[in-house]
Amino acid sequence: MIEVLSLVLGLAVLAGTAWLPNRLTRLLGALLFGLLVGVVLRFSVGMLGGLLLGAVAAVGAWRWLPRLVLRRVVFLVPALVLLIFATTLLMYRAPGNPFANERASSPQVEAALRAQYGVPKNANQFFGIYMRRLLVEGTLGPSIKVQGRTVEDLIKPAFPVSLALGLLALTLSVLFGLSLGILAGLKRNSAVDHLSMALALIGISLPSFVVGATLMIVFSLWLRWLPVAGWGSFRHLIMPAVALSLPNAAVIARLSRSGIIEVMQQDFVRTARAKGLPESWVIARHALRGAIIPVVSYLGPAAAAIMTGSFVVEVLFAIPGMGQWFVKGAINRDYSVVLGTAIVYFGLVIVFNLLVDLAYAWLDPRIRGKEA
């Protein structure tokens, strides 16, 4: 009962950030930003230094950061707490517990283990311990299943792997999707158009592990050009990134195609043509923006989709990334690993969305006036 109430309360706080007046958003955002900076830095520069730098960051944020960023920060902090709480509840609801498979499972041993890892039987108590550990000690805690390693130890080598894979996949989808979509949109109803839209439909329709398996068979087993699976060199990265990027490239191709078709019918394009600009200049200077704006607004969901796909692709190609740890942690009920990876993923998504927001405001002045 208390759990449900807290969840509702958390959601209410989250929704409540929509009602905050602008000046309060600015103030609160700056304070929370300073708090975040202080908490993170305290562990490297000490208590006093953290306090000082946090205060400096807060003042700096209040003075210079655009409201767009501060709004996100105001939203981020309660959202992060809510995420940790909801994940804890869901994990505790799942049958089984991290100590269910221990050999010596006498109640005393289990109680000792629970005390050692900070995993009480009650979800609320665990949430309290976890938050305290996160804020006061600044650690994601020990892994319960991987002996003698902290969650940081596990995530540190996995993070760059997942990041590299995700960024490459995102870059590929944008490059591939945008060029296909623009080409198709400019030569509407031509063979090129039909071919690229057919390709896009196939890309949307096939799940990434089917694409991945096909690539694996063709390029590593038949042609022997690329390593089958594993991690180590750039060559290991190619097939997983392509498999991950295909569905997103397809969506981006469709979006940019309809975007460019729409913009080519606008009056300002006709004006540009009428005043005698060469067609290539009309496209580069005026039409491209119309194709890019809808794609930029899709980048946020695209990042989430790539992360979702990466769970599967990492397992398929045996890539030692964070997705693997999350899946393993979830299956083994390794609570701290699940929470740690969830927090890192969530942080990535937030930072990425922030960048997208800023890029969007820069590209489309109509939004800049309203939001910034």
Partner 1 sequence: MHGSPFRLAMQRLARNRLAVAGALLIVGMCLSCLLLPMLLGLDAERTQPALRNLPPSTRSWFGTDTLGRDLFARVLVGGRTSLLVGLAGTAVSVLVGVSYGAVAGFYGGKVDEAMMRFVDFMYGLPYMFLVILIMLMFSETARGEMLPVFLALGLVQWLTMARIVRGQVLTLRHQEFVLAAELLGASDLRILVRHVLPNVVGVVVVYGTLMVPSVIILESFLSFLGLGVALSWGQLVSDGIAVVNPIRSYWWILLWPSVFLGTTLLSLNFIGDGLRDALDPKART
DSSP state for residue 368 in the 8-state scheme: H
* DSSP three-state, residue 310: helix
Q: What binding mask, one character per residue, do residues 1-40 give for partner 1 by CB under 8 A, x or -?
A: ----------x--xxxxxx---------------------
Q: Contact 37/57 with Cβ under 8 angstroms? A: yes
Q: Per the structure block, which two tokens stand in for 273?
A: 């043509």
The C-alpha atoms of residue 370 and residue 144 are separated, in whole angstroms, by: 48
Q: What binding mask, one character per residue, do residues 265-294 give for partner 1 by CB under 8 A, x or -?
A: ------------------------------
Q: Contact 145/337 with Cβ under 8 angstroms? A: yes
Shortest separation between residue 260's beta carbon and partner 1, angstroms: 10
* DSSP three-state, residue 2: helix
19, 68, 90, 107 from 30: Cα distances, Å:
17, 12, 32, 48
Quick one: 162 exposed, middle or buried, by C-beta within 10 A (0-12, 13-18, 19+)? buried
Residues of span 214-233 touching partner 1 by CB under 8 A: 214, 216-217, 221, 228
Nearer to partner 1, 52 or 359 (CB): 359
Nearer to partner 1, 15 or 56 (CB): 15
Shortest separation between residue 367's beta carbon and partner 1, angstroms: 15
Nearer to partner 1, 108 or 265 (CB): 265
Quick one: 334 exposed, middle or buried, by C-beta within 10 A (0-12, 13-18, 19+)? buried
153, 160, 320, 343 from 156: Cα distances, Å:
6, 8, 11, 13
354 contacts partner 1 (rule: CB under 8 A): no
Using the rule CB under 8 A, give the single segment among 120-128, 140-148, 271-279, 346-354 that binds partner 1: 346-354
* DSSP three-state, residue 140: coil
Residue from 73, 84, 91, 158 that binds partner 1 (CB under 8 A)? 91
Q: What binding mask, one character per residue, do residues 197-216 give for partner 1 by CB under 8 A, x or -?
A: ----xx-xxxx-xx--xx-x
Q: Which residues bind partner 1 (CB under 8 A)?
A: 11, 14-19, 75, 79, 83, 87, 90-91, 93-96, 201-202, 204-207, 209-210, 213-214, 216-217, 221, 228, 257-258, 261-262, 300-301, 304, 307-308, 311-312, 315-316, 326-327, 330-331, 338, 342, 345-346, 349-350, 353
